[in-house]
Structure 1
Amino acid sequence: MFDPYKVPKGTKEFGYVPVVNNLLVDAKVPVGVVNGVEEGPTLAGTGGLYPTEYCGVESASRLYQLIDPEKLRGRFITIPVMNMPAFQFKLKWLNLRSTGSSPFDGVGINNVFPGNPEGKLTERIAHANYKILSKADYHVDFRGGDFPESHLVHTIQLRVGEKVDKTTATM
């Protein structure tokens, strides 16, 4: 089983964390890891929370490709598509009643974090994402509007305390 936190220093690997594999579905979380040559913090970058937010998927994927492990201190982990079943079916977020829910269980992943390892498929996927992300020091979620939406460039920065706020602003 692929473990994003066991990628050797100075290397780059892409793999899949299994969630469910049965006769109905083979669900996995795609994960890219760039582990620098020196110790340092872990930054996680995610995309594809909603199934047709292609800008986030592309941003997370490109960043993974661009980072050189020889020049990195710490670790970069990307989950370019957080909700693979909904992404594969290209389910759009069109209104408040259609939130990019999974075709397998009708559940929107954004509503079930931190998930449930014994729950419905989407809850299990959310839990697998949560287990990976909860070990990171920092997390950036690459968004960009769902397929039918248009957004101006924006950044949301939560204020939680002086040390974290300063680090976030620096990032």
Structure 2
Amino acid sequence: MIDLIQSHFPTGTVASPTSKTRGFISVPGTSVEMPFTFIYGALPGKSILLTAGVHGGEYPCIETAIQLANEINPAEIQGTILIIHPVNPAAFLARMQYYGPFDGKNLNRVFPGKATGTVSERIAYQVHQFQQAADFYLDLHGGDIHEGLVPFVIYSTLGGPELSEQSRIASALLGFPYVVGSVSDNSSIGAAAKVGIPGFLAELGQCGRWNQDEVNQYKTAVVNVLRSFSVLQGEVKQHEVEFLKKMLVSTATVEGCWYPDVKLEDLVKQGQKLGEIRDYFGVVKAEYFADSDGIILYLVTSLAIMINDPLCAIGVTA
């Protein structure tokens, strides 16, 4: 990790123990510069990669990363922590949900990326290089501009049982109510798992808003995970969480106006109506029903909906 990030340091700056370096990671072939903070601890230890703002409209996680980057003291660290905050600055400044302004792609659907691909693919490729140099990967997310959710954590089941279990245990240490496995291979954590790097994707926040209480909750959760790896010292708090089997996402098959029939944390039954999409005259174009029993983890709150947009997600309990 040290050698990889060193090339992005300001001219004349050299990585050394008990130091904190700030700068920008340039993505080759693009105008993108990702702000980073590299914290080099006083003692040897694990290398941690923490990203926030893969999606530009998810604000609690971005502010959490910024505050952690400022508050963590290198003298109290064993190992190294690379924090990228935010990963997708152009999407952040454009106040965009899910997608990037350069190519209209969802960055969290193009991992591990391509060195000579579109802008989003090149960003993903750059992040993936740091994933491969890390011992553990934390990808912080939150309720996008048009999205409400209950705090939950996703870990990848790719990479084998041992890797999956390491990610699952660490996910529970955040203390968010629900932890769910994922088989996605084009997400940030899926790409990391496929090359043997454990990690998780955390979700906390509501509808493109943020407040300090949420940020404090997020920071406490992340610090607890860092303590579990002895990167930070202190007592590791154990939490009671509900482990879910999988997450089923309903997506829009037509465009129009979205009217949900469910709320966050509703327990739904297979076949239960989730909502409907109507046209601009109020005529129903499509109805959506639960594919399984489970709990509503996130729900799109915007009236506007486009084809292939997520509508809601059900965490399957059994």
Q: Secondary structure at the match of 1:76?
A: strand
Verify: 1:14 aligned to 2:12, yes or no. no
Structure 1 position 32, deviation (Å)? 1.0
CA contact (8 A) 2:155 2:168 kept: no
Whole-Å Cα distance in 1 between the matches of residues 155 and 126 of structure 2?
Answer: 25
CA contact (8 A) 1:116 1:127 kept: yes
Whole-Å Cα distance in 2 between the matches of residues 90 and 165 of structure 1?
Answer: 31
Verify: 1:32 aligned to 2:37, yes or no. yes
Structure 1 position 106, deviation (Å)? 1.5
Aligned to 1:164: 166
Q: Structure 1 pair 9/116, CA: closer, same or farther in 2 (3 Å)?
A: same
Verify: 1:103 aligned to 2:101, yes or no. yes
CA contact (8 A) 1:20 1:121 kept: no
Q: Secondary structure at the match of 1:125?
A: helix
CA contact (8 A) 1:115 1:123 kept: yes
Q: Secondary structure at the match of 2:23?
A: strand
Whole-Å Cα distance in 1 between the matches of residues 104 and 93 of structure 2?
Answer: 15
Q: Percent of counterpart pairs with the same letter? A: 27
| TM norm structure 2 | 0.46
* One-letter identity of the residue aligned with 1:15: G
Determine which structure has more spread, i.e. the larger CA radius of gyration.
2
Whole-Å Cα distance in 2 between the matches of residues 84 and 115 of structure 1?
Answer: 17
Verify: 1:116 aligned to 2:114, yes or no. yes
- Residue from 125, 135, 138 that aligns with 2:136: 138
Structure 1 position 72, deviation (Å)? 0.6
Whole-Å Cα distance in 1 between the matches of residues 78 and 144 of structure 2?
Answer: 33
- Residue from 62, 67, 88 that aligns with 1:62: 67
CA contact (8 A) 2:51 2:85 kept: yes
* One-letter identity of the residue aligned with 1:86: A
Instruction: Map Cα deviations across residues 43-101 of structure 1 (whole Å, 9 max, x no partner).
Output: 11111111100011011111111110011111111112112221221112xxxxxxx22
CA contact (8 A) 2:65 2:83 kept: yes
Q: Structure 1 pair 166/105, CA: closer, same or farther in 2 (3 Å)?
A: closer
Structure 1 position 16, deviation (Å)? 0.9
Gaps of 5+ in 1: 93-99
CA contact (8 A) 1:89 1:103 kept: yes
Instruction: Map Cα deviations across residues 10-67 of structure 1 (whole Å, 9 max, x no partner).
Output: 100111111146xxx6211221111101110011111111110001101111111111
Aligned to 2:54: 49
Q: Output the aligned Cα RMSD.
A: 2.4
Whole-Å Cα distance in 1 between the matches of residues 168 and 123 of structure 2?
Answer: 32
Q: Secondary structure at the match of 1:119?
A: coil
CA contact (8 A) 1:118 1:124 kept: yes
Considering fraction of residues, name the structure with more strand: 2
Whole-Å Cα distance in 2 between the matches of residues 132 and 165 of structure 1?
Answer: 18
1:76-95 pair list within 5 angstroms: 76-92=81-97
Structure 1 position 158, deviation (Å)? 4.8
Whole-Å Cα distance in 1 between the matches of residues 110 and 168 of structure 2?
Answer: 30
Q: Structure 1 pair 111/155, CA: closer, same or farther in 2 (3 Å)?
A: closer
Provide the aligned length of Structure 1 versus Structure 2. 160
